[in-house]
Amino acid sequence: MSRPRSTFIIMAAVSAALAGCGRPDTAAETGSTDQDVPPGVEVTAAPGVAFRYDYAFRLPAQRIAAAQERHTDACERLGPDRCRITGMRYLRSPKNDVTADLQFSIVPALARGFGRDAIAVVERSEGGVQSVNVSGEDVGATIDAARTARNAAIVERATVEKRIADGNRSTAAELERQRADLGRTIRDVDAQTAGQRALLNATAVAFHYESGKAAPGFETQSPLAQAGELLGWSAGVTFSTLLNLLGLLLPPMLLAAIVAGLFVAGRRFVRRRFAPAA
């Protein structure tokens, strides 16, 4: 049975159209000063690009839950049509270290401002930004390519249907198979295109929280506090070094003591055994 080459060309074009083409747009790190401004890209500056914002915050462990709650409230105030919480995690370790995460799906026009407001909340909680990563996927180009491939499939299907209508019985079964394949291809393209459009209509925003100092080395401490921290650090290092040395030297020292004790005891035994009687 013959298979028109154009059908396979369309299939290949559709497959290529559905392949996503992701690319990073911007990546930057910021400190925790009040002058920090989060990097970002306005949606009007990159039409057809679906963005994702990833923020990493560091703040005192006892303040993470409250900051996370305020970020949640900010999303709820926007309403479910403009902001939805898609994931949440809070974990406290046995040492009282805290890590947490929040994920949102936000209207693209509000995503950058939402991140900027979130940073302000963290800074008011004695924390700061560790990193901001903005990545983008050019789904607009993918949608355009898929539309071209879909139109080609529709034209090919119309040609097949015309041949079926002509009533060529010798190729009827093959033509029916081709029409069914083209119909499935068109439906697959429509489903994939709908998913790509959904990415354009909602921006993913993720917050990661860690406990600790917001910006080590930049705190405004008194000289006495700094000296106390240095003393504690030095004492810890010294004690740790002594323990390591003890762990390293103690086994050979014990072995040497055992060998020396056996040697002395052996000499005494030999002397008592073989010494001439007085």
Over 70: is that where the pLDDT of 239 sits? yes
Per-residue pLDDT tens over the stretch 162-215: 777 777 666 777 777 877 877 777 787 777 666 666 666 788 899 999 998 765
The set of residues, in sequence order, having a beta carbon less than 8 Å from that of 256 and lying 6+ positions away, is: none
Over 50: is that where the pLDDT of 32 sits? no
Instruction: For Cα atoms 215, 221, 225, give the angle at the middle one, nearest 5 degrees.
Output: 120
Burial 58-97 (b: 16+ CB within 10 A, else e): bbebebbeebbeebeeebeeeeeeebbeeeeeeeeeeeee
In angstroms, rounded to a whole number, what is the distance separating the alpha carbons of residues 231 and 58? 25
- The CB-side HSE value for 41 (13 A sphere, CA atoms) comes to 23
Phi, then psi, of 25 in degrees rounded to 5: -100, -50
Give pTM, 2 decimals: 0.50
Over 60: is that where the pLDDT of 39 sits? no
In angstroms, rounded to a whole number, what is the distance separating the alpha carbons of residues 200 and 50? 5
User: Which pLDDT does position 44 carry in this prediction?
Assistant: 45
